[in-house]
Each structure stands twice: as structure tokens, then as C-alpha cells.
Chains A and B, each alone.
Chain A
Amino acid sequence: MKEIDIELFNKYKKLSRGSWGKDLGIWKMMYTALLNQQKNIELTPFSEMLLNIFSSIPDARKQGKLIIMHPFNFEPELFFAMGLTPLMQEIISVGLAPIHMNQPYIDFANKIGYGDNLTICNAQRPIISLLMQGGAPIPDLLFYLSTPCNSLSMSYQVFQNVSKIPSFNLDIPYSAYNHESDYYDEKTVNYVIDQSKNCIDWMENRTSFKFDVENFQQTMDWCNQARGYVLEFNELLKAVPCPVTSETGFGNFLTMVTRGGTLDAVKVTKSMRDTAAHNVRNAIGGVPDEKIRIAWPYTHVFFDQALLTWMEKTFDAVVIMDLLGHYKVLPHDISTIENCYMSLAEGILDASMVGKCRGPIEYYIDYMINYIKDYKIDCVIMPMHFACKHVSIMARVTSEAIREETGIPTLIFGCDSYDSREVTSEAIKGQISEFLTQVVI
């Protein structure tokens, strides 16, 4: 370990001492586990960012800053601009899934009658159990969108109902702002801008912080710098062989949805772009002998972090990007305050799952067709998380459209991405294996 890293590591280690508060027990456990993973390896900008995500919550408490909880489909730049500390809630369920620690909370949700695995998404359901048991991080404010799914918007309503924490819901329109779309509506962006301004008023009324134009512009500037790096990274992934491993793209999404609008995000996205660029220059593939290029238009199977690595090793197959990792928000001109608002609104509308899933199926199909053509995809694998109705109900029609338009095959398999008890890793591997060997190769 480099000396500077030891110094950094010790700084983070010091933070893990002492109590973070009863409600941050799980949060602290995740931080400590992450820190222990970094013990003998060099701290990367990404791992440093992850540590910052966790340490920012107790830090905020110490500094008297307000914490705002928000879901995975909203980038936090506006919150940073308003001096709030964002807490992206799904980091808990995603973080606990590989060690099967969601399961007791899922069981508790079943016991108290809050849904089941097939109906309410386990990206959010464990947080309700944690809340009822006193183990959920208690934010000062709640923020969520009306989209992409009922599960998410209901879990936030339940969180609000139980905790009585003030909440703001931003309604996401069905329509498009892109002129070429059949669903184009000229008022789409302004609708989101108006609601963003309402949200600023709401935050001002609940905090001592007043909206500051310069602060907002600075935040949007950092956000746009990071967006620029992500788009460059995405372009580099068109190279054959793909310059990064299957998991890598998700890192950009995680960065933008937790630290978008900070220098952390600029640093991480730049480092990812640099790595991809270096590998493209030197014809290095994320998978050494790449044979199959896969589009994965949904989230990862979070309970099995080794699944994509298994595919790489067994079939020389690389997943280019997952749905969330395929982040496509354009940087904007932010020279005026109105342009900043526009940049914010378009970012909200284009955020990974929001952009592709908030409206008609054409948004998703068009995205898939372009993805397949742009990235020289050989096949599509769609894990369909049972409770994710809005995507799983599109899968069959989308797969038919893909075959018709591009001629490539699609595998659709059901699972619960957060709970291995519904469909096990072995069962998933069996389906993927059969598909790749019998259909693709």
C-alpha cells in the first residue's frame, strides 16, 4: 500500500470508531465491511468514493447538516447544491444482497404483511422492515419520483406514513421532449423544471439553506464534467474487444446517482474513462479472449456478484453494460441559470431507468435497438426481477422487436435480484449456459 493510502485508510478507519447512532447500525456495518475489503489493496477513486458515501451520513449528523433520502433513479446534484447530504436508499438492499442479509428483512416484511417478493420490489422492501425494527437510517427529508414503478413510490409513501418525515414527490411525465418522438410534448421539460423549482422552495422551507445560484452552477458544472466522462467511456465500450469487464459500467451509474454534482464523481468517472481509453489504445479486453458481446437491459442480479465473472470465464462473454450502467445524460450549456435548470430537468428525464422506462414501450425498444447496433451485440440477456412489473411486462414484445430488427436472440429469465431463495444462482447459470451454448454459439 502506498504511504498516502495508509494515511487515507487510517482517516477512514478512525471514522469507524465510536457510535454512529442506533439507526446507523447496518450502515456502519456496511462501511466497516467495505473498509476491511480495502485493507490490503490500493484505494482507487471508486473505493474512496464508496467510503465517502457511507461516511457522509455520520459526518452530516456531526455537522448538523440535513440528510435527504432518495431512490436510485434520481441524481443528487440538486441536493448537494442545497447543502443537503443525500442518502441513496437502495445502497442498503444492493449492498446486503450478496451476503444474503436482505433475507431477514424480507422475511420480516412478509411477516408484517408488507408485500411479497412477487409484488413489491425488494430494492425498497427491506428498508421498511429496517424502519419498523428501528434499524433504518432516519433521514430528515424524503424525496422520490412517481416513476419508474409503483413499488418504489408506494414504499416511499409507507416510509413517510410510518416515520412522519416530510416528503416531496416529483411527478415524471410520460411524454418525450425529443422532437422526433411520436410522444413529443413541448411542455415536457418545463413541467420538470417547474417541479424542480417547487422542490427548491420546499427544501428552503425545511432547511436554513437558501438557494444560491453560484453554488447551483458549480454543482451543475461538476455534474456535467462527470457526464462528459461517462459518455466518453460509453463510446469507448464500442471497441472490440470491450476494454472493461462486465461489472464496470455499473460503477458510473453508482457514481452519478450517489455523488453526481461533486468532485468525487468527476474524479471517479475520469479515472474510469482513462482506464477504458488506455485499454482501447492497447487493444486490451476486459475479457481476454472476448467471444460474445452481451446486452443486459436490466439491473444486475445483485445477490450473485460473481455471475458476470462466471460468464466471462466460462464463455469468454462480456456484458457491455447493464440498464443502469448505460447512463446517457448529455452535458449541457450551463452558462445561465435557466440553462442549469434545463440541464437538471433533462438529467432527471434521462436518468438510467427513468429515461428508458417512464413512458411507452418504444422508449425501451428504441434504446435496445440502438444499443445492439452501436455496440455490436451478439445476444441479449434480460433478468426479469419478479416485482418489477413495468419492465418485465415489456420483455416479450421487446425481444420480438429485437429479433425482427436485428436478428439476435434474447434470453428472458425470472428471478428476485435481491433474494436468492426465489431462483438460485445455479438455476440462473443453467439457463444462461443453455442459452449461450445452444442458441448463441
Chain B
Amino acid sequence: MSAMEKFKEGIPFENAWVKSWKNEGKKVLGYFCSYIPEEIIYAADILPIRMRARTCTDTPMGDAYMTPTTCSFTRCCLELANRNEYKFLDGIISCNCCDQVRRLYDNIRYKAPFPFHYIIGVPGNVNETTLDWFKHELSKFKQIIEKTFNVEITDEKLRDTIKKYNKSRSLLKELYMLRKRDDPPITGTDILNIISAGISIPRDQFNELLTQLLKDIDNGEGNSDYKARIMVVGSMLDEPEYLQIIEDLGGLIVTDSNCVGTRYFWDLVDEDSNPLDALAKRYLSRISCPRMTDGQPERSEFMMNMIKEFKVDGVIFQRMKFCALWWAEIFMLRNKLKEEEIPFLDLEREYVLSGAGAMKTRVQTFMEILEQR
């Protein structure tokens, strides 16, 4: 089986790796946002997996408690929690990343509780004061994990885990660099499959698979039969079908600024500092999501650099319906692209793929525009 095929096996939420981990009598914790340092959890020999809900088809409970005008990701998560589909999890970790996830955490505690819940207060901007606060928050988080699961997270264990996660980050970056080629050896859909597996399987195995994948594809044939090179920008997207639609219509996704994408892995943790300090600094100062109020210029610059380095022809924004953060952010990013005369398409979507026909029509039109340039 090729590495790529193995990654695909890691996509289901309760995949074979998770089952095997549980069979060893070890714990699994679900977490909600890329601002939560997985390293602290993994250093406790607990598997952190990012909360997803791709199997959700309808949301009666989610609509009733979260309201129908809330993002469908959070409604789907409450729905699956209520249906006990996350029963293999030993607990959940959340943060105040956005209003909807913050309140999802409340609803889960009241309506579909887990054996363990914890929420981390992540500051909304970066300066010395907020960085100190975040260190304090992470220190409390580490202590609560130690106390609840009766483990000791030593500095040595943390350092070791940070190295493993940094290795993933470096390997993923190496993979992305290959996408700068005129014939990128990997598609955007495959990349999403890889990172989706990465947030769901043990780090050691993920690194092994990434290393194997890089060997498999480095000298392989690339994709040159495409109409345009696309960058995808937006919020939590873990449904490869969305990207498949874009790529089936001739747009090759060569880079992104996505939550399950570059924003997850682009920045490294300093391996030489005190580990908690280094984690606090990395997670707070990384390429941000719009929840960080002082990060917009950097986010805009990041997008522009990506466009230049990856020779992007057009940008597709993907934002979940009812997400204020991303709608406002895309409003600002669009203005930047207009100034630079870079074509873009703004796609509003639900969490689980729906309205594929309408989406295809819009993407197809966008591809035609790009082809004519």
C-alpha cells in the first residue's frame, strides 16, 4: 500500500490507528482548534485528535440548541456528541477561539458530556502581557492533564514531543515546496487528506508516512494538465470533496492558508527554550486566524507571499456560512487582491458538502476567467 493510500485510511475520525491506540489501554482526547498545543497532550502519552464531524448528515439537535444560524461544523459536532458517536474519546479540550466553538463547548457539557472537559483561554492579540498570560494558561492546562490522567509531563518529554511535531512541520513544508514546481507532484485534495490524517493519527506514525510519501513522490511524475494554479484561503475545511470539485474542473491547488493547512504547521516551535514558553510563543505568534485582532497585516502579507512563491493564478476563498470571523477577514483580503489585480472567488459553504452543483458552476466560471487571462 502506498503512503497516500495509508493516509486516506487515517481520515475517518475513529480510524485504525485510534482503535489500536485505545486497544493499548491509552487515552484519546478530542480538541477543537489549531490554537491548542497538541504537544502537551501527546507528551502525556495521550493521543490528541482534532474534532471533526464529516459523517454528520442532519442536525436536529444542533439546530435546536445551537440555532440554525450557527456554523454547521459546530452544529454537526453537537449532533454527533449527542448521538454518542464520539464515545471512544476520553474527553475534549476547547478554547475561546470563536463564539461558536466557545458556546459549543458549553452545550456539549450540558447536553452531551464527556468524562473530561477543559477550555483554554487563548488571548486575542500578541504582546508581552498576553504572552505571559498564555504561558500561565498552558501551565494550568499541563497541570490539569497531569492531575486528571495521573501522568507526569516532564520538560524532557515535552522537548521530545516538540521535536516530533516540528519534524512533521518540516516534512509538510518540504512537501509544500514541491508544489512550487510547474508540475507539482501532489494535488490539493491529497494534501488535505494527508493533513486530515495528521490531526487524527499518532505523531510517530504520521512522520513515518510523511517520510515515505516524500520518497514516493519526489521523483515521480507531476501534474501539468491543469488550467490554473489555485490558492485556497479560509476556515476549518476537512472535506476533500470540496477541493476535488475545484481540481476536477482544472484548478490545481498549489497552496493555501487554511486551518487544516498551512496555518496548522507553517511555524516551528523553538526547541532550545523552556518548552512551555516556546509553545506559548509559537501558538500565539504563528500565522494567525482572524480571531487574532492584531494579525491582519501579517495574514494579508502571508497570502501575498504565497501567491508569489507558488505562482498562484487565482485565489478561492472558502468560508463557512454564519462565520463572522472569516467573512470580515475575506472582506479585507479581497480588497487587497483587488488592489493587486489578482482574481478571486468567494465561496460560502456548509461544513459537510452540499450544493455541489452550484459550487461547480461558480468554480467553472472562475476557471474560464482565469484561462482567459
User: Residues of A with Cβ closer than 8 Å to B?
Assistant: 112-115, 118-121, 144, 146, 149-151, 153-158, 160-161, 169, 171-175, 185, 187, 191, 194-195, 198, 360-361, 384, 386-387, 389-390, 392-397, 400-401, 414
Contact = CB atoms under 8 A, between A and B. Distances in A.
A120 B325 CA distance: 9
8 contacts: A157-B296, A157-B332, A174-B96, A360-B106, A360-B119, A393-B70, A393-B104, A396-B64
A397 B110 contact: yes
A149 B99 contact: yes
B353 interface: no
B364 interface: no
Contact of A174 (B111, B119, B136, B325): B119
B328 A120 contact: yes
B31 interface: no
Contact of B99 (A171, A191, A194, A390): A390
A194 B129 contact: yes
A393 B99 contact: yes
Given A112-B331, A113-B331, A401-B110, 19 more contacts: A144-B293, A146-B124, A146-B293, A150-B99, A150-B325, A157-B328, A158-B328, A169-B294, A171-B123, A171-B133, A191-B133, A387-B324, A390-B103, A392-B67, A393-B65, A393-B100, A393-B107, A394-B103, A397-B110
Contact of B124 (A113, A169, A394): A169
B329 interface: yes
A175 to B, nearest CB: 6
B327 A119 contact: yes
A54 to B, nearest CB: 28
A393 B66 CA distance: 5
Contact of B328 (A115, A386, A392): A115
Interface in B122-160: 123-125, 127, 129-130, 133, 136, 140
B275 interface: no
Q: Is the interface of B mostly helix, strand, loop or mixed?
A: helix
Contacts of B109: 361
A206 to B, nearest CB: 16
Interface string B159-202: 00000000000000000000000000000000000000000000
B332 A158 contact: yes
A154 B329 contact: yes
B290 interface: yes
Given A157-B328, A396-B64, A173 B121 contact: yes
Contacts of B110: 361, 397, 400-401
Contacts of B123: 146, 171
Contacts of B130: 171, 195
A81 to B, nearest CB: 20
B323 interface: yes
A115 B329 CA distance: 10
- Indicate the size class of the contact surface on chain B: 35 or more
A395 B64 CA distance: 10
Interface in B287-325: 290-291, 293-294, 296, 321-325
A144 B293 CA distance: 10
A194 B136 CA distance: 15
Nearest to A161: B332
Contacts of B321: 119
Interface string B55-74: 00000000011110110001
A158 to B, nearest CB: 5
B85 interface: no
Contact of A156 (B111, B293, B346): B293
Nearest to B330: A113
B7 to A, nearest CB: 33
Given A119-B323, A119-B324, A173-B133, A393 B103 contact: yes
B311 to A, nearest CB: 27
B129 A115 contact: no
B327 A389 contact: no
Nearest to B346: A113
Nearest to A169: B293
A125 B244 CA distance: 35
A171 B124 contact: yes
A360 B118 CA distance: 11
B334 interface: yes
A397 B293 contact: no
B290 A157 contact: yes
A114 B328 contact: yes
B328 A175 contact: no
A393 B67 contact: yes
Contacts of A396: 64-65
B99, B103, B110 interface centre (most CB from chain A within 10 Å): B99
A289 B60 CA distance: 42
B331 to A, nearest CB: 5
B129 A195 contact: yes
B282 interface: no
B54 interface: no
Contacts of B104: 393
B369 interface: no
A397 B105 CA distance: 12
Contacts of B107: 393, 397
B69 A386 contact: yes
A29 B130 CA distance: 41
Contacts of B127: 198
A389 B99 contact: yes
B16 interface: no
A335 B283 CA distance: 40
Nearest to A160: B296
Contacts of B325: 150, 154
A143 to B, nearest CB: 11
A115 B124 contact: no
A171 B130 CA distance: 8
Contacts of B356: none
A120 B331 CA distance: 12
Closest 3 CB pairs of A and B: A146-B124, A154-B328, A393-B103
Nearest to B320: A119
Contacts of B105: 360
B322 A389 contact: yes
Nearest to B64: A396
B65 A397 contact: yes
B360 interface: no
Nearest to B328: A154
A394 B328 contact: no
Interface in B254-301: 290-291, 293-294, 296
B340 to A, nearest CB: 15
Given A158-B328, A393-B100, A153 B124 contact: yes
A150 B125 contact: no
A139 to B, nearest CB: 17
Given A119-B323, A155-B328, A387-B324, A187 B133 contact: yes
A158 B100 contact: no
Contacts of B334: 113
A118 B125 contact: no
A219 B291 CA distance: 33
A69 to B, nearest CB: 15
Nearest to B71: A389
Contacts of B296: 157, 160-161
Contacts of B322: 118-119, 389
B227 interface: no
